[in-house]
Structure 1
Amino acid sequence: MPSSECLPGFSMSRESEARSPLDDSEVEEVFREDLDEDDEPKLCQVCGDKATGYHFNAMTCEGCKGFFRRAMKGPAKFRCPFQNNCIITKSNRRQCQFCRLQKCLSIGMLKELIMSDEAVEKRRMLIRRKRMAEEPVVLSEQQEVVIQELLEAHRKTFDLTFSDFNQFRPIDRDQNPISEYIQESINSQSVRAERSITSQSVRAERSREPVVNLLPHGSCSSSVYHLEDAENGDKEGKAVFTTLPHITDLSTYMIQNVINYAKVLNPFRALTIDDQISLLKGATFEMVQMRFNMTFNENTGMWECGSLRYCMDDAKRAGFQPHLLDPLMKFHFTLRRLHLDETEYVLMQTISLFSPDRPGVTQHSVVDKYQEMLSLALKTYIETKRSGPEKYLLFPKIIACLTEMRTMNEEYTKQVLQIQDIQPEVSPLMLEIVSKNS
């Protein structure tokens, strides 16, 4: 440790001298505090330039600090072109590396205090985290613009009241009580729904009226077919999937709205036609389910689409099977209980749309870059708009829901094609969406 006489304007107490050498960041912090107190300039003990703090146990400038680190880490051996006694100054410090290094060692700079690359990166991460904790997170101007554009496109192509869904065939439900399927789903997800259904069943039995009449705007039926039964019925020329015409009309309506949403987005229109088709084929089912989730009532297990009401039994009577419907029901409860707002739903849907790993996509880097931007916007939005510790878990939970949807996509395609083989009433648009990319 050099004496205090070598440090003009900087005095050290005996206690400071007795301490073990501090690392670079600790000494620099102490130095800057002293600078604030006396505001006197400090000079680099190697070259005389303006010092920025204690580095590796000596007062130096940033240039000599970096030189010493590189010299100690590198394998190069320096030689003086003169007589090994060069006077190092700010102007000539690069001319003789050997004498400059000797000057560094002579003033007490220690190789042992040089941090490893891993330690340096760890310290940088801690600094970044500290800054992030101190600085409030805000949406950038670009993120604000993107979110507003997405919201406008969403509102133009999706109406929670379903007021413009009027060209459809009526849904054919029988008048049997609510099915075990939907009742079990509700019971496992909501105690309140269980009590409500039980109470309604008791009142219905007393009045000899079916429970279906107690459910507003539609009901669920217990008459559910399996594929084997459907195939047998089809041989007799019967329409076995009684809700299929209406479900087809509803699905087609939702698909058209998703396509219209994508066509409004400039980044989507900028892609090649083939990539646009590939992205839509991959994401439409997922986006439709996310939009349906905005209408889902977690207390009753029903989808409230304006004046229309649907339950999972309607999908079963359209020919869909438990391999798809069981995880789909679980998904709707899980996602709805995150209580997302409109912006979070819209960003989630658009992240699904811009998935670079969909089959047939060629502009991977372009799609990936936009999806990354959307993900960051969603994460930032959550951090700025949400409060409480639960906000830190919301983003990974949304990503988990997106992943879960991907696992159901293939099963949905398989079942749509099976239904079409049995009862050819699936719309051409639905078939086009589930067809494989060539």
Structure 2
Amino acid sequence: MSSGSRELDDSGVEEGPREELEEDDEPKVCQVCGDTATGYHFNAMTCEGCKGFFRRAMKGTPNFRCAFQNKCIITKSNRRQCQSCRLRKCLSIGMLKELIMSDEAVEKRRILIRRKRMAEEPTVLTQEQEAIIQELLMAQAKTFDMTFSDFSQFRPLDRDAEYNKEASVSHQLSAEAERREERDVIENTIRQGSSFASVLQTEEAENSKQRKIKFTSLPHITDLSTYMIQNVISYAKLIKTFRALTIEDQISLLKGSAFEIVQMRFNMLFNEKTGIWECGSLKYCMNDAQRAGFQRHLLDPLMKFHYTLRRLHLHEEEYVLMQAISLFSPDRPGVTQHKVIDELQEIFALTLKTYISVKRSGPEKQLLFPKIMACLTEMRTMNEEHTKQVLQIQDIQPEISPLILEIVSRQC
């Protein structure tokens, strides 16, 4: 064995107090075998080989026997030949078993060393992560025109000034009262001796009156939502890992995430100063959604969500990674490949976290990732309420498109 080689400790981690040799010091020799010493190990100046030997010997119950007279002279070249005399030499120079760290302590120290090295090394996006981001950006560019120039086949937005905000809610909340009123009308008509035909005519008149209570912006909002969902479907199909899933899981993931991804895309167009969504030449406010039949216990948290997310001032890369995390959610109803999708979601989440670490600066970057994840959690709650309200609106005014109904059918 050359003078520069070492017999490594099986832990690979320094144990017990040791005094490092300074570069200017005279070379020290191992007090056990005479090889070059690397410092104090377990209370004695030794080389790495004798340090590791002592540790391994003391971890068990040594039962070494000398083949000669227990008087072997231990040197660098023969130190492996007689374990008994080598251990006796270790003990004679003062090496102490009590200074050997337990396996648990070794593992803890190894973890600390690894973390320290990682902290010292600059975080960088891997080639795989860079490729993921580029794929998502390309899919976004092909399926999301922020000018809405290709959104042309839609029914006009009717912002009827006579729209009765109370009517959109009262139809659902007072249905039972209306039915009682209809029964009273019928009973009064019968008591007055009118014919059965008159009764039917009266009932039809009441029904006609109710049909006049319309969600005036529902046709346009339905067309807009259908257009956005179609683009989300096209977006997902451009992602290689999504196409690799079974058709059944693709459908389940799209049904579960469509509303959330649409909201993330709308957020990129949200003006936090005016509270207006600026979709090219089209402008929308929250009242448009209310005129489509949606109620305040969805719209209020939805508006708060848009302000919260927009104020994070996300990069486009962060938006697309956020969309991918939402899309690849393993707990969506109907999903079967849970493990595969969970691993994919973890890859997107780690890529987002690394991107933030590399591209962001300032103390706020430490909180950006958890804030984004909190927004994703908030959308899950709103997603469920959105489904309920869409089905309520369809019962009152059946103008919801088949695609939207298919998306919300997961909770029917």
Please list the CA deviations of residues 387-413 of structure 1 after superposition, one character each: whole Å capped at 9, or x if unmatched. 111111111111111111122222111
Q: Is 1:158 equivalent to 2:140 in the alignment?
A: no
Unmatched runs of 5 consecutive residues or more in structure 2: 4-13, 179-205
Structure 2 counterpart of 1:80: 65
Q: What is the alpha-carbon distance in structure 2 between the residues aligned to residue 37 and residue 329 of structure 1?
A: 68
Q: Which amino acid aligns with 1:111?
A: K
Aligned to 1:139, what secondary structure does the other structure show?
A: coil
Q: Is 1:229 equivalent to 2:171 in the alignment?
A: yes
Q: What is the alpha-carbon distance in structure 1 between the residues aligned to residue 73 and residue 389 of structure 2?
A: 84
Structure 2 counterpart of 1:263: 237
Aligned to 1:309, what secondary structure does the other structure show?
A: strand
Report the alpha carbon displacement of residue 173 of structure 1 after superposing the two structures with TM.
0.8
Structure 1 segment 181-192 matched on structure 2, within 5 A? none
Structure 1 counterpart of 2:251: 277
Q: Which amino acid aligns with 1:369?
A: E
Residues 285 and 92 of structure 1: CA distance in aligned 2, closer, same or farther (over 3 Å): farther
2:370 to 380, 391, 396: 396
* Preserved contact between residue 360 and residue 437 of structure 1 (Cα < 8 Å): no
Q: What is the alpha-carbon distance in structure 2 between the residues aligned to residue 159 and residue 352 of structure 1?
A: 20
Q: Is 1:37 equivalent to 2:24 in the alignment?
A: yes
Structure 1 segment 194-233 matched on structure 2, within 5 A? 223-229=165-171
TM (norm. structure 2) is 0.79
Please list the CA deviations of residues 361-400 of structure 1 after superposition, one character each: whole Å capped at 9, or x if unmatched. 2222222222222112111111111111111111111111
Residues 88 and 249 of structure 1: CA distance in aligned 2, closer, same or farther (over 3 Å): farther
1:431 to 402, 405, 412: 405
Bigger Cα displacement from structure 2, 406-415 vs 337-346? 406-415
Q: What is the alpha-carbon distance in structure 2 between the residues aligned to residue 418 and residue 56 of structure 1?
A: 76
Structure 1 counterpart of 2:185: none
Residues 90 and 404 of structure 1: CA distance in aligned 2, closer, same or farther (over 3 Å): farther
Q: What is the alpha-carbon distance in structure 1 between the residues aligned to residue 408 and residue 147 of structure 2?
A: 27
* Preserved contact between residue 15 and residue 106 of structure 2 (Cα < 8 Å): no
Structure 1 counterpart of 2:333: 359
Report the alpha carbon displacement of residue 262 of structure 1 after superposing the two structures with TM.
0.6
Q: What is the alpha-carbon distance in structure 2 between the residues aligned to residue 70 and residue 229 of structure 1?
A: 81
Structure 1 counterpart of 2:154: 168
Q: What is the alpha-carbon distance in structure 1 between the residues aligned to residue 337 and residue 383 of structure 2?
A: 22
Q: What is the alpha-carbon distance in structure 1 between the residues aligned to residue 78 and residue 376 of structure 2?
A: 60
Q: What is the alpha-carbon distance in structure 1 between the residues aligned to residue 319 and residue 339 of structure 2?
A: 24
* Preserved contact between residue 160 and residue 216 of structure 2 (Cα < 8 Å): no
Structure 1 counterpart of 2:124: 138
Aligned to 1:54, what secondary structure does the other structure show?
A: strand
RMSD: 3.0
Aligned to 1:368, what secondary structure does the other structure show?
A: helix
Q: What is the alpha-carbon distance in structure 1 between the residues aligned to residue 98 and residue 397 of structure 2?
A: 78
* Preserved contact between residue 222 and residue 313 of structure 1 (Cα < 8 Å): no
Q: Is 1:27 equivalent to 2:14 in the alignment?
A: no
Residues 119 and 251 of structure 1: CA distance in aligned 2, closer, same or farther (over 3 Å): same
* Preserved contact between residue 387 and residue 411 of structure 2 (Cα < 8 Å): no
Residues 239 and 129 of structure 1: CA distance in aligned 2, closer, same or farther (over 3 Å): same
Aligned length: 367
Q: What is the alpha-carbon distance in structure 1 between the residues aligned to residue 331 and residue 32 of structure 2?
A: 56
Bigger Cα displacement from structure 2, 230-239 vs 342-351? 230-239
* Preserved contact between residue 276 and residue 283 of structure 2 (Cα < 8 Å): yes
Report the alpha carbon displacement of residue 127 of structure 1 after superposing the two structures with TM.
3.1
Unmatched runs of 5 consecutive residues or more in structure 1: 1-7, 9-22, 177-220
Q: What is the alpha-carbon distance in structure 2 between the residues aligned to residue 234 and residue 149 of structure 1?
A: 53
Report the alpha carbon displacement of residue 265 of structure 1 after superposing the two structures with TM.
0.7
Q: What is the alpha-carbon distance in structure 2 between the residues aligned to residue 244 and residue 324 of structure 1?
A: 16
Q: Which amino acid aligns with 1:414?
A: K
Report the alpha carbon displacement of residue 318 of structure 1 after superposing the two structures with TM.
1.3
Q: What is the alpha-carbon distance in structure 1 between the residues aligned to residue 16 and residue 221 of structure 2?
A: 66
Q: Which amino acid aligns with 1:141?
A: Q
Report the alpha carbon displacement of residue 359 of structure 1 after superposing the two structures with TM.
2.2
Q: Which amino acid aligns with 1:259?
A: I
Residues 423 and 126 of structure 1: CA distance in aligned 2, closer, same or farther (over 3 Å): same
Structure 1 counterpart of 2:40: 54
* Preserved contact between residue 24 and residue 54 of structure 1 (Cα < 8 Å): no
Q: What is the alpha-carbon distance in structure 2 between the residues aligned to residue 414 and residue 174 of structure 1?
A: 25
Residues 80 and 348 of structure 1: CA distance in aligned 2, closer, same or farther (over 3 Å): same
Q: Is 1:238 equivalent to 2:212 in the alignment?
A: yes
Q: Is 1:368 equivalent to 2:342 in the alignment?
A: yes
Q: Is 1:332 equivalent to 2:306 in the alignment?
A: yes
* Preserved contact between residue 302 and residue 310 of structure 1 (Cα < 8 Å): yes
Q: Is 1:387 equivalent to 2:361 in the alignment?
A: yes
Q: Is 1:422 equivalent to 2:401 in the alignment?
A: no
TM (norm. structure 1) is 0.75
* Preserved contact between residue 293 and residue 336 of structure 1 (Cα < 8 Å): yes
The structure whose Rg is larger is 2
